Structure formats: C-alpha cells, structure tokens
C-alpha cells in the first residue's frame, strides 16, 4: 500500500477546480501512472476537469510556462516515489511540495508528543 501520493494529488486538483481556482491541470511522472488512469476514468464518465497534460517533458520550465500561457492556473504533478533527477528539477520549480508519509510507530510516537 502506498503513501497516498497519487490520491492526494488528484483530489487536491479536483478540489481546486471545484473551488474555482482553475483551470487546473494534472500531470503524471510516476511510472505507475495512477493520476493518468484517474483522469482517463473521469473522462470516460464525461467529467472533463481537471485537465491532463502528458509527461515527461524534456524541459519542465518550458512546459510549465506553456501551460501558464495557455491559461492554466494550477498544475498538480504526481511524481515518482523517489528523489531522482526529474523530481529534483520539479522541486526547484514548485511553489508548493507535499510529501505524504506512511506513519510508523516511531514517527507516531513522536507526533503524539508534539500534538499534546
């Protein structure tokens, strides 16, 4: 079972679109392709937002600029579950990075102390 990275990505994108913060675009660099599959299932059901832009792209900066020039307000990217070259490039361009974690007993114990 994963950390929920793809689920968080697509649901935040859909919520942003529904809140009127769009147009919202999703892209997927994860080889598993969960966000792309999610988009395709919604499209089959007649739901056309958020939009989808395929990846990978040779230069993310150019792709992000082109999406912005086309009117996209937000881009949510489901990344691969590792710190590779693509993720490092994306992190350098990001306005916000969310990293879901699977809680372990050790981390849970520390968080319970912080939350008291």
pLDDT tens per residue, range 56-69: 666 888 888 889 99
CATH classification of the domain holding 65: 3.40.50.300
- What percent of the chain has pLDDT above 90? 40
* Residue predicted with more confidence, 99 or 43: 43
Mean pLDDT of the chain: 83
- Asked if residue 60 lies in contact with residue 90, where contact means CB atoms within 8 angstroms, the answer is yes
Residue 112 has pLDDT above 60, yes or no: no
Per the structure, the complete domain to which residue 22 belongs is given by 5-115
Say how many domains are in the chain. 1
For residue 81, the number of C-alpha atoms closer than 13 Å in the C-beta half-sphere is 13
Instruction: Answer yes or no: are the C-beta atoms of 6 and 32 closer than 8 Å.
Output: yes
Neighbour count for residue 66 (Cβ, 10 Å): 12
**Phi, then psi, of 100 in degrees rounded to 5:** -70, 145
| 49 has a pLDDT exceeding 90 | yes
Q: What is the mean pLDDT of residues 8-37?
A: 92
Whether the CB-CB separation of 74 and 13 falls below 8 Å is answered with yes
């Amino acid at each position: 079972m994963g950390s929920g990275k793809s689920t968080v990505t697509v649901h935040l994108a859909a919520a942003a679109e529904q809140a009127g913060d769009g147009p919202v675009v999703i892209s997927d660099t994860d080889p598993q392709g969960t966000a792309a599959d999610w988009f395709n299932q919604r499209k089959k059901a007649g739901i056309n937002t958020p939009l989808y832009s395929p990846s990978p792209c040779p230069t993310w900066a150019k792709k992000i600029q082109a999406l912005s020039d086309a009117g996209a307000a937000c881009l949510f990217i489901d990344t691969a579950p590792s710190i590779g070259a693509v993720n490092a490039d994306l992190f350098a361009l990001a306005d916000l990075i969310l990293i879901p974690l699977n809680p372990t007993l050790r981390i849970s114990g520390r968080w319970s102390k912080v939350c008291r």
